[in-house]
Amino acid sequence: MSEREHIDALPEDLDVTAFVGPSVFPNITRRRIPGAMYALLAVVSVGAWVVTENAGLLLAAVILTVVSAYHFATAWNVAVDETEALLVATRTVGFPVGHASAQLAWRGLRSRPAWRILLYSADEPPSMRGLVELDAVDGHVLGDYTERNPEDWSRFGIDVSAGQRQSNSAR
């Protein structure tokens, strides 16, 4: 194919016309599957240690048991989905929300899931922004922060105080 024949196109995974529905975060209770596999392998290692008296197999069984226990301890059920998290965050910030973005993060040694949501007010350009963090297991708000939007939009011809685009004659 020559350069003249090249047609610029979006990759299939970025084609918005092929949208089939909202993305779903997999529940991290799936960590129990490898946890069970590690536990089973630990039992097999103990059995092999009994037969062979190889201390390495006993050490492997202990390590596998610890790793398995950690997988079970961190297999939280994510009860609050992205939509519910955005709803709670919208109620928390106290201003009409326009654009928002949600991120699933983990807190602490046991990796408890938490939603971090960045929100902008609905006016154009946004005059307020907020950050809300809420627990993804039980939905309680861990913390929130709101402030006037400090971003400078004047170089794009937008009057920040009025929230309107300046006309060509006003520039």
pLDDT digits (tens, 9 = 90+) for 96-124: 988 888 899 999 999 999 999 999 998 88
Q: Where are the alpha helices (DSSP H) in the chain?
A: 32-52, 55-73, 82-93
Whole-number pLDDT of residue 107: 92
d(CA 59, CA 55): 6
Fold of 82-165: Nuclear Transport Factor 2; Chain: A, (3.10.450)
Q: What is the largest CA-CA distance in the chain?
A: 90
Please enumerate in sequence order all residues whose Cβ is within 8 A of that of 45, keeping only pairs 6 or more positions apart, or say none.
57, 58, 60, 61, 64
Number of H helices, E strands in the chain: 3, 6
Q: What is the pLDDT of residue 46?
A: 96
pLDDT at residue 152, as a whole number: 73
| Residues in CB range of 12: below 8 A, 6 or more apart | 18
Q: Which tokens in the block code for residue 159? A: 């009057």
Residue 37 has pLDDT above 60, yes or no: yes
Say what the pLDDT of residue 69 is.
Answer: 96
Stated pTM of the model: 0.70
User: What pLDDT score does 169 carry?
Assistant: 41
